[in-house]
Structure 1
């Protein structure tokens, strides 16, 4: 179809519009289209047919259809990335529907399965913000925590992600203590705390090798006062015994050895601590005013 015929056809459609403001705007648009059409070359016929025809290109798909397609891609095709796009499309096309709420959570789950943890955290955080009273809010919070937890680095690296995992896991336990996710969150929390304690021990050992005993004590003190339930606490008490003996604070060394022996009598670390204080001419003896003693009594371990 030629540009002239296309312009005439559009003017015919505008004939019933009237002489008002809308008519003037449309006539102006007609002129602009007439100028633009020659630039598109031989493809103008198809373009014009599209313009005049009823455009079904952007008709919304039913929410349940998109949602079920997402489930199929997730469960049958094992394609979480494609599934997440379907769930996001539900939210885009039907933003205030119940399907959108369900899809937002499924989108977070799909992102998690795809290993796209940042996107999972974003979607799950949005869900908790928009639907805090939903029965599924606990699961959304758990996905946030699990996404951080799965990215925990080894103890030689910065533990910022571990601290975020710890905070998010504690949030699950605090806000949803009776949910099925609280049990798993507690198990993961112990793993995250153990990682943080391991980091402190790693740095503390470094300072011990450098004979910077004060810096080393600060690291071992953190383990004893904050991470008493981790597997690192036995060594931390033994290292405190060693460091305090090295700088002549014998009372704290005796207390560290005594607390170690009381709580972990069969530990190989206790034997080392016991021998160390004995070599200094004293016995393990607990000073109940010491932070070491108080830390364990607070947990009912002392």
Structure 2
């Protein structure tokens, strides 16, 4: 092939490649336009549809519209507010797994937002409700459930109080922290009562001591002292039992009989056990547009007192082992020796 022919051939190849490249670019542009045009409404129209659905409490419909805002206009005018509204709608629709995913996304995407406290608060409330596959918090006996979600909730509320001390949600967050804190202590005492019924006084005393040492701000402390007094007396540790009885006599005399013995009922349980969380009513949050009017449950403490109360409550890093010990006395049951209740 002579030189002119070679030049002509190369020119043809170049032109062909150029045409192919142009076709590719045009195809890409056309493809992008097709993707963009899949949004059937403008950002404002999607957002307004969501507002209409929320006003009518059609939360699933609102979720679809808000998701469209986030999908088609991720950097648009309504993107941040759409995610906040999405968090609210998902919670009202009881889609708790999606709530925690959305709150995490909000705090990651908008860490300096004035509504970051809202996202953290809703995350705590959702974790307080428990695993998405479990029942609602206040409908269950909390001493018989997995506490991992409750620990997450406690951490969320603690972070809220410390990171956003001026938040409108602090009073309710502190109340929730207090309820959770008391609930963890109650969880241990439920186990202690179970051990007392089976004459396992060493295990009962260990559980009560755990409450006495690690939940000193709990309203379960009086009963923990009573269990320590009762269990040590049963173990023949008279001096130790009397020390705890002295504490009861000075601070909680209602736990003692006239003869100085600890009061128990016919079920071999302490008479004054309190059931945590089941009777409590917490504040109900609305959308972020309602933040200014939100009050929650407020017990009259100043904001400084609330923060002090919250910081005084610390959960132990790990939970007490739950393995079942051998009874210290002959069991009251015969036959196969199987327990009539599940071990806590």
Moved more, 206-215 or 143-152: 206-215
How far the C-alpha of 1:252 sits from its partner, in A, is 3.1
The match for 1:121 is 100
Structure (1 or 2) with the greater helix fraction: 1
TM-score by length of 1: 0.69
How far the C-alpha of 1:184 sits from its partner, in A, is 0.6
- Unmatched tracts of structure 1, length 5 or more: 1-17, 29-50, 278-298
The match for 2:167 is 179
Contact 2:212 2:225 in 1 (8 A): yes
Structure 2 counterpart of 1:107, from 66, 77, 86 = 86
Q: Deviation string for 1:230-269 (max 9, x for gaps)?
A: 342222111110111222333432332233333334x3x2
* CA RMSD after TM alignment: 2.8
Matched, 1:92 2:71: yes
SS in 1 for 2:250: helix
The match for 1:70 is 50
1:91, 1:229 → 2: CA distance?
44
Aligned pairs, number: 234
Q: Deviation string for 1:7-45 (max 9, x for gaps)?
A: xxxxxxxxxxx94326347999xxxxxxxxxxxxxxxxx
- Unmatched tracts of structure 2, length 5 or more: 1-13, 25-29, 131-136, 264-311, 313-344
Matched, 1:264 2:252: yes
SS in 2 for 1:180: coil
The match for 1:241 is 229
Structure showing greater radius of gyration is 1
Matched, 1:225 2:213: yes
The match for 1:149 is 128
How far the C-alpha of 1:139 sits from its partner, in A, is 0.5
Structure 2 counterpart of 1:133, from 112, 130, 152 = 112
How far the C-alpha of 1:140 sits from its partner, in A, is 0.3
Contact 1:213 1:246 in 2 (8 A): yes
TM-score by length of 2: 0.61
Contact 1:204 1:217 in 2 (8 A): yes
Moved more, 135-144 or 156-165: 156-165
Q: Deviation string for 1:65-89 (max 9, x for gaps)?
A: 222211211112x111221222122
